[in-house]
Amino acid sequence: MNSANNFENIIFVGNFALPDVNAAAVRVQAVRETLSGFDAEFICTKEVKNYVRLIFEVIRRKRKNSIIWLYNPNVISVLLFNTIKTCSGTKVVIDITEKLDSRPVNVKKALKFLSGHLVKKMLTINDGLIVSSVYSSKIHFNKNTLVLPTYLPSALSIPPKEAKKEKVIIYFGSPFALQKSLLMKDRVYIKERLDLLVKGFDVADRNDWRLFLVGVNKTEFLDVFPDLDDIVRDNTNICFFGRLHRAEVLKMVASSSFSFCVRDDKDGMRIGFPTKVFESVAVGTRVIVNDTSDVMRYLTNYDNCFLVSERDFLTPNSIFQQLDKIVSHSDSEITVPSQCRPSFWRESLMAFLSRIRDKG
């Protein structure tokens, strides 16, 4: 038992795929490592049997002095655990890393919108709130709020830094919803602006650079951006790899010159924090970014990132000229922000838990 906070264990509840299949899993594993003095348990909401068992254990007070950590929860989970916590001695924390009430375009999305909207209204009844950006802390309200980006657990398989043998820009991740029907004209379901990257790469016409797109295949890309068909089919320096195992992806990132994470500066993007930013710098690869999602709180232009805006892609040749300069002076290692590792956040998290304890 951690006597400093009088809590025995933390139960993480959410839609994560352990150990590090998705960003949700990376986040909760990092928090678990940060709070190493506590016992921890992970319950995926899709594992109905374990989820129901936890509910009954809380009701029967077997989870007294525990913290239920709800990761991007639905309204049922929030209502349920806040209803039964008063008779069990548990505390409830909500962790928000995405927009709760994205605009609905079908029945399933409408239900998610309604659930998210209700969760947003009930944030004050929880014992604490974790958010991944400063912007999110301004639109989600709880007296005990901690801004916590998605950082990396030490156990995450990080390959050694590699020599950059060729000039490569790599994108890795899930850039958009794959259901074409969900892609609205205002790009509400598109996260990363791969269209800017591909168009800029084509206009610059630089045969000495290569573009790797990992996490999406060519068919999926053209479903979303059909107007770029001629570019991706004719340019042999643009390579699609689809979905790969995380360890393989990070090895590719480590041997690339730059990774890419440019997003529209809008609500849904400002709320979250891109895990790929810390993953890239952790393996020694600079990130091409724009100033959104809090990334410039932790990165330094020309050291571990290259800062761009959407307007810059109107003159992509100037972008590549600057990338060439950075590559030519890239003998020294980039700075890995201390905020991307668990040790940096322990004091903040312990203070957060102390406030929960003192609340009674």
pLDDT at residue 185, as a whole number: 46
**What does the pLDDT read at residue 178?**
59
- Residue 163 is predicted with a pLDDT of 67
pLDDT value of residue 357: 83
Distances (CA, A) of 238 to 32, 165, 190, 316: 39, 17, 20, 16
pLDDT score, position 98? 85
CA distance 290 to 89: 44
Could you tell me the domains of the chain?
9-151+342-359 (3.40.50.2000), 167-339 (3.40.50.2000)
pLDDT of residue 280: 95
Torsion over CA: 109, 110, 115, 118 (sign): positive
Neighbours of 344 (CB within 10 A): 13
The series of mean pLDDT values per 10 residues for the chain, 360 residues long, is: 64 85 88 89 86 81 82 86 80 88 51 65 85 92 93 78 81 78 54 92 91 94 91 92 92 94 86 93 94 93 93 90 83 85 93 85
Q: Which secondary-structure segment (H or E) carries 139? A: helix 134-139
Tell me the pTM: 0.86
Token pair of 344 as six digits: 């940096």
d(CA 128, CA 149): 16
So what's the pLDDT on residue 78? 86
pLDDT at 28: 92
Element (H, E) at 103: none
Q: Calculate helix-pair angle for 23-34, 275-282, nearest 10 degrees.
A: 70
User: Which residue reads 């570019």 in tokens?
Assistant: 231
pLDDT given at position 4:
44
